Amino acid sequence: MSAIAPERTGVTSDRTGVTTDRTGVTTEQAIEGSQTIRLAPNYWPFVVPALVVVGAVIVFPWAFTLWMSVNRWTLGQSRSFAGMENYLRLASDPRFWESLVHTLTYTSLSVAAPMFFGTVAALIFDARFPLRGLLRGVFVMPMMATPVAVALVWTMMFHPQLGVLNYLLSLVGIPAQEWIFNARTVIPSLVAVETWQWTPLVMLIVLGGLASVPREPFESAEIDGANAWQQFRYLTLPMIAPFLMIALIIRTIDALKSFDIIFAMTQGGPGTASETINIYLYNTAFSYYDIGYGSAMAVVFFIVIVALSFILLMLRQRSQWIDAEGK
């Protein structure tokens, strides 16, 4: 019986107890092969939900916006195909171009001021002095507040008669200002609020860059007689340039899409003096109910943001550190 069984099954066993078949494959190898085939990973069950979410949250809204932008659609009226009419209307709309100028002005000032003050604050907090950790925590507190709450507080501070800012100015003999209630000072006033809230973000990013800067070059520069400005100009600034570019990109995109502070404080006023594209877009779509024209405005504004982001990313690539081989 023991001699016949191996011939029927095609399985043999040597003295070491290892069982093989006629093809020379051991039983352990056969089991491992079957397990490998049976346990082959399948990632699609994990990828499909993410694709569905991306399609529902990003792809579909933008596709629907593009479709609405080529239609003449006002809520309460029938919809009709308009082609490029809404886009041509933008080119001849003086209010759109005025809002574009306001957007670029507001963005430029809201980026330049936090970048300057944030870099200065990072250089100060990078030094060692008593209570440095406590002061850092106090300095970043404005960044934690919600924009609407910040807007309401600053609106009260900007009040021409009851605001604390005009009271402080009166103590030093400066006449009261109209702040956000004057067309000439409304955008600088809004920029001051934006700077107060987001300077800590730039400070944290630059402070992280300063923490990664090696100290050996500065020791060599001191031996060579370089002063503090020369060390900052030729050592510190080039080394933290990648971090400055990251802060610049974040602040530019954030300032371009700023809506809550402006809407809560001025709603684009007085008149249209602080009306950015976001405010004009909102009023067009949800106050005048011109959905088609508002959608075309959103598409154009999205193209502007993508173009600026692409330019900033190209500049960021040029600001990368260069190693010893020049790569």
Percent of the chain with pLDDT over 90: 46
User: What digits encode the pLDDT tens for the residues 142-161?
Assistant: 999 999 999 999 999 999 99
pLDDT score, position 327: 46
CA distances from 300 to 65, 84, 96, 275, 316 (A): 11, 12, 11, 17, 24
Does residue 32 carry a pLDDT above 90? no
User: What digits encode the pLDDT tens for the residues 88-102?
Assistant: 999 999 999 999 999
**Average pLDDT for 169-185:** 92
CA distance 225 to 219: 10
Q: Give me the CATH topology for the region 88-318.
A: MetI-like fold (1.10.3720)
Q: Is 266 exposed, middle or buried (0-12, 13-18, 19+ CB in 10 A)?
A: buried
**Mean pLDDT score of the chain:** 84
Nearest to 79 by CA among 289, 322, 303, 301: 289
Does residue 20 carry a pLDDT above 70? no
pLDDT score, position 323: 42
- pLDDT-wise least confident of 2-16, 215-229, 294-308: 2-16
Question: For residue 325, what are its two tokens?
Answer: 């081989």
CA distance 100 to 93: 11
CA distances from 319 to 209, 273, 274 (A): 13, 36, 34
Alpha carbon of residue 91 to chain centroid: 29
Q: Where in the sequence of the chain do the CATH 1.10.3720.10 domains occur?
A: 88-318
Quote the pTM value. 0.80
Residue 22, phi then psi, degrees to nearest 5? -65, -25
Question: For residue 142, what are its two tokens?
Answer: 């404005």
Q: Is 19 exposed, middle or buried (0-12, 13-18, 19+ CB in 10 A)?
A: middle
pLDDT score, position 6: 45
Residue type, 179: W
Contacts of 36 (CB under 8 A, 6+ apart): none
CA distance 54 to 5: 60
In the block, residue with structure tokens 């994990």 = 46
Angle at alpha carbon of residue 252, lines to 247 and 92, rounded to 5°: 170
Residue type, 72: R
Question: For residue 145, what are its two tokens?
Answer: 């507040």
CA distance 160 to 45: 61
User: What digits encode the pLDDT tens for the residues 192-233?
Assistant: 999 999 999 999 999 999 988 888 888 888 888 888 888 888
